[in-house]
Structure 1
């Protein structure tokens, strides 16, 4: 079913390369599907920023208007992008990559794995066969780390690649690739220090240990707690398929047993769920427990708007494209010192997240619409 949807998505984007806009009804007829199916496909592509949808019509994204023409009869260069999903965290990453690709006159092609290692293999092969000159890779590695087979699969493609929100082990072959990641350890430290400044001392980390982000958060959290002379208190949250009212109650009971007065919770959805469970069990936020969410996708929409650590998602996509274009020696990579081609030094970049202060910690929220400045840390 997913493969069929992915094929339709490629067909839709192909039609929009030929025509600037289409009615959704005409799109359904061209694809030979129902209007409801066409609308679902359009909604998914619009959420990923790959097309614009207004009043029953779809069109190329506005950013595409800034893309230079490739020349008469010439096809634009192709950059392949492998991601686990096209929504939630990664929708904004895609928008950033798409905007940077459009400015450089590059065509961005997506492969979505739905967190399936088997789908990773299928999508990597498809992206290579699409004629991609290079790849942006966020594979579905368990806990974010590749095994030997994963390494071989990527290296055997023989294509320049940039790891995006994934890190390979030091000294491995994949560690020799360019990469751009959020400095999640710094984000955890940012949250801990903010809570400590507010007088909280029993600060817990609540996260699902199997996620690729969790180990980086755990490292940053432990370092910040040690630097402040505080005892680390880590609670492992159940996975999304194991969550129900009973498990939520158990998490609240563990929070009480540990005597927590504050917590950093990954992800936003887990933080919202915890907030609701705390209220059901008679605990108040922020009076009894201050909360900081990690991701800042829906944290502001909570009943008690949640302070959150916000990774620079759009900048991640833009930076990954620039890194890859630099590696390819193509226009658009000038942010990293101009074209360097295959022989240039590899770059590992960490982009620092920001803290968005709201109500859930008990301090004064930032004025609406005032962004926290983005800082970038470059690792040599």
Structure 2
């Protein structure tokens, strides 16, 4: 028999009062009600002064009062850099912190593990209430090593990993994480090229922490869609032209669609193709990844766009909930791990289709279209 509105709201109130802060969506699942219904109930209960609503969570009024008396929370954010990709993550984190009245303090690791540990130690010593961290993984495997994982788990404050996936068997799997599903993002681009009619593709890759996921997504999508890959080409030295000749060779062999990780390298690929007499998109379609500068390329690039800001925003929200949950558990004597389940959240990127992709070229072989036999001697 369905509960009445009064009974349902009383059940919500009892859970929050007896068990402390609750994640709204998890509470809705527990009570078998919709997200819309529980938000309406919580608005009514909050309006009566019976509970306190936070971002994505609800807490007893008494605990909210205690948190306010402790002053605003301070969140540490440690990322590899503050530009290109992570500026979006930082912007989302800043917005979530500001909305919660929290202070955000930034540390930059420059993809150096020792610097990363130093930044975390500095922030922890300064008294941050919790940390959002993008640890430096192995660029070949994309994985965090065992020592890193043990270190992250041992930190004295709540930690949420951002833009880093951890193996389910790794020690850090017990930590919350918010990231982009880069494999799924790469597959979006390949599916788009396939739908346009491209059957022979090539991929050009940078070396980076997300490269293994992007490469895997490309290869899996090519296989599942019955396409042919004429090669996965590595950039070589950053900013070099090591990949130019291999890219042109793939075009000579019949590749009509090129997928490139990331935007900056995609713009360089466009330059190499056009300098060799290949028109984008008339003769070769080009799709990028990251969508940071894709829209301002000479030919605006079709690009996969991760939800960078949303990742940073959600990571801070999750951390604030963890901080409140730990405070509640400490006050009641409950172990924090037994009061809130670990969350591994992935955002599926979206695809922005622009002018660099179209149906495959139906003319003669590319070898007859002025594709240069060599790029040697070409200046940057």
Using structure 1 for the length normalisation, give the TM-score.
0.70
- For residues 257 and 69 of structure 1, the distance between their equivalents in structure 2, rounded to whole angstroms, comes to 69
Q: Which runs of 5+ in 2 are unaligned?
A: 1-63, 327-334, 360-380
1:272 alignment counterpart:
267
Matched, 1:297 2:295: no
Structure-2 change in CA distance of 1:199 and 1:192 (3 Å): same
Tell me what 1:236 maps to. Answer: 233
Q: What's the offset of the Cα at 1:232?
A: 3.0
Q: Which residue of 2 aligns with 1:170?
A: 168
**1:230 deviation in Å?**
1.4
Residue 87 of structure 2 is aligned to residue 87 of structure 1: no
- Paired residue for 2:145? 147
Match of 2:107 among 101, 105, 111: 111
Q: With CA pairs under 8 Å and 6+ residues apart, which has the higher RCO, 1 or 2? A: 2
CA drift of 1:259 comes to 2.3
Residues in 2 aligned to 1:153 and 1:283: alpha-carbon distance in whole angstroms: 50
Which residue, out of 135, 143, 159, partners 1:161?
Answer: 159
Q: 1:156: Cα distance to partner?
A: 2.4
Residue-pair matches, total: 285
Query: Contact 1:169–1:175 at 8 Å: present in 2 too?
Result: yes
Write the distance in 1 (CA, Å) between the matches of 2:68 and 2:220: 56
The residue that corresponds to 1:44 in the other structure is none
Q: Is 1:324 paired with 2:324?
A: no
| Change in 2 beyond 3 A, CA 1:330/1:92 | farther
Structure 1: gaps (5+ residues): 1-67, 332-339, 364-380
Q: For each residue in 1:75-132, what CA deviation from the matched residue of structure 2 results, as whole angstroms up to 9, or x when unmatched?
A: 4211111100011111111111111011111111111011112211211111111211
- 1:223 Cα deviation (Å)? 2.1
The 5 Å alignment of 1:1-380 reads 75-143=71-139, 144-208=142-206, 210-241=207-238, 243-244=240-241, 247-329=242-324, 342-343=337-338, 344-362=340-358
CA 311–229 in structure 1, closer or farther in 2 if over 3 Å, else same: same
In the alignment, the residues of structure 2 paired with residue 248 and residue 231 of structure 1 have an alpha-carbon distance, to the nearest angstrom, of 20
User: Alignment partner of 1:109: what SS?
Assistant: strand
CA shift in 2, pair 1:324/1:73, >3 Å = closer
Q: Distance in 1 between the 2:249 and 2:126 partners? A: 50
Q: What secondary structure is seen at the aligned counterpart in 2 of 1:283? A: coil
Q: How far apart, in 1, do the equivalents of 2:296 and 2:171 lie? A: 42
User: CA-atom RMSD, angstroms?
Assistant: 2.4
Q: Compute the displacement of 1:251 (Å).
A: 3.6
Q: Quote how far apart the aligned CAs of 1:72 are.
A: 9.3
Structure index of larger Rg: 2
Distance (whole Å) between structure 2 residues aligned to residue 224 and residue 249 of structure 1: 24
Provide the secondary structure at the position in 1 that maps to 2:115.
Answer: helix
- Per the normalisation by structure 2, the TM-score is 0.70
Equivalent pair of 1:326/1:341 in contact (CA under 8 Å): no
1:278-320 CA-partner distances (Å, limit 9, x unpaired): 1111111112210111000000111111001000011001110
Structure 1 ranges of 4+ moved more than 4 A: 68-75
| Partner SS, residue 320 of structure 2 | helix
Contact 2:150 2:172 (C-alpha < 8 Å) held by counterparts = no
